[in-house]
Each structure stands twice: as structure tokens, then as C-alpha cells.
Amino acid sequence: MKRGKFIVFEGIDGSGKTTHAALLKKRLEEMGERVFMTAEPSEGEAGKLLRRCLKREIELSEEAIAGLFMTDRLDHIKNPTDGILSHLEKGETVLCDRYYFSSFAYNGSYAPLDWVKAINALPRALLRPDLTLFMDIPPESFLSRIEKRSEKERYEKLEVLKRVRENYFAAFEAFPDEKVTVIDNTAPLDLAAENVYLAVKPLFEAR
């Protein structure tokens, strides 16, 4: 049995990762591929704890949060019942909404970036994506979704998203051996979906 392909979607908040992952799943299934969709934070125990942190129900240090994202990732990769590797080994294509580049882009702003990179060498040694798709939108376009917030909050959110987007591009440069394709997601939905498909197609032709 040939191992399946591991494809990751990345992007700032509201960049359309989830929509495009679902569209790609449908298209690959029409080609006869078996596809498993997943996301980080995962549905596992560490992922549940992370969601509580993100909702501010519990408070952890930024280092502990970055460490927990890494721990969640290790479990997401290796969990014996539903881990990514178990699906890849069955020949399934795995589409994952966020992976270690999210840690570099988000957590690297709050905990030291070199340290975030160092701890993520563990999951990176276990499983690298066959392709990372970065769904690119201008941070300003996210703001229309939060019109009701105050000017101050909108400004702060914009500054954060700009920094996250810059961090992504810096991380792509810092890891030139990673396969990354940037998709312009300001394009109409059909066109962006076609560009996603064209980017992943060579992975399936080689088999």
C-alpha cells in the first residue's frame, strides 16, 4: 500500500483555509482518492486544553501554550487510533487545517521564535507535509467581518494579523527545504480552488 499524501492549509484568520480544504477534498474524492480532513488544535486531549486556553477559560504562560501546541501536534501525528500517520499508512490523503507553520507565525510572536522552532523540530522530524498551501489574503479584508468592534480593537487586530502574515513569510524563507505554495485568495472562489488543485495535482501524478 502506498502511503497517502499529507497536505497542509495555512493562513491568517479568515483566509479561507477551511473552505478550500473542503473543496479540495471533494475534488480528490471525485478522482477516486480517499481523503481524511483534520485540523489543529486537534480533537485530542491536548487540543481540548488548547481550545480552553484560546477561549481564556484557563491561563497558561505563552511558553506552555507553544509547548502544548507542539504536544498536541505529536499526539495528532502519532495517536494510534486516529493519528495522521495511521491514515497516511492506510493510503489516505490527509488534509490538515494548520500545522507547525502556525506555531512559527502565531506562537513565535509571544514565546521566543528560536525556541518555538527548536521544540517543533520534534514533530518536524516525524512528519513533514508533502505540500503546504498558504491561503493569502490582505489582513485588511478580515476586518469587514468584525465591523461591530471598536476602532481600537479593529486596529489592534489588524496589527496582529499583519504581523502573523509577515511571520509566515519569514518562516517560509527560514525553511527553504519545505514545499510551500502561496495561493492568492483574493481571486474568485473558482479560480483560487483551481489554483489549489493545480498545486496538489503533481503529487498524485507521480504515483
Judged by CB under 6 A, does residue 40 bind ligand TYD? yes
Judged by CB under 6 A, does residue 75 bind ligand TYD? no
- Give the shortest CB-5-to-ligand TYD separation in angstroms: 20
- Minimum CB distance to ligand TYD smaller for 101 or for 193: 101
Contact (CB, 8 A) for 28 and 35: yes
Contact (CB, 8 A) for 160 and 146: no
Q: Please, which of residues 87-126 interact with ligand TYD by CB under 6 A?
A: 97-98, 102-103, 106-107
Judged by CB under 6 A, does residue 76 bind ligand TYD? no
- The candidate with the shortest Cα–Cα distance to 89, out of 14, 30, 1, is 1
Strand partners, 95: 7, 37
**Residue number of the CB atom closest to ligand TYD:** 106
Task: Candidates 69, 134, 168, 172: give the one binding ligand TYD (CB under 6 A).
Answer: 69
- Minimum CB distance to ligand TYD smaller for 33 or for 78: 78
- Give the shortest CB-157-to-ligand TYD separation in angstroms: 11
Judged by CB under 6 A, does residue 54 bind ligand TYD? yes
Cis upstream peptide for 188 (omega within 30°)? no
Give every CB contact of residue 61 below 8 A, 6+ residues apart in sequence.
Answer: none
Residue identified by cell 518536524 is: 124
- Give the shortest CB-179-to-ligand TYD separation in angstroms: 19
**Cα–Cα distance between 157 and 122 in angstroms, integer?**
31
**Cα–Cα distance between 201 and 3 in angstroms, integer?**
16
- Give the shortest CB-201-to-ligand TYD separation in angstroms: 25
- Give the shortest CB-202-to-ligand TYD separation in angstroms: 26
For the sheet containing 180-184, what is the strand order?
35-39, 93-97, 6-10, 131-136, 180-184
C-alpha grid cell, residue 43: 480533537
Binding site for ligand TYD (CB under 6 A): 13, 40-41, 54, 69, 97-98, 102-103, 106-107
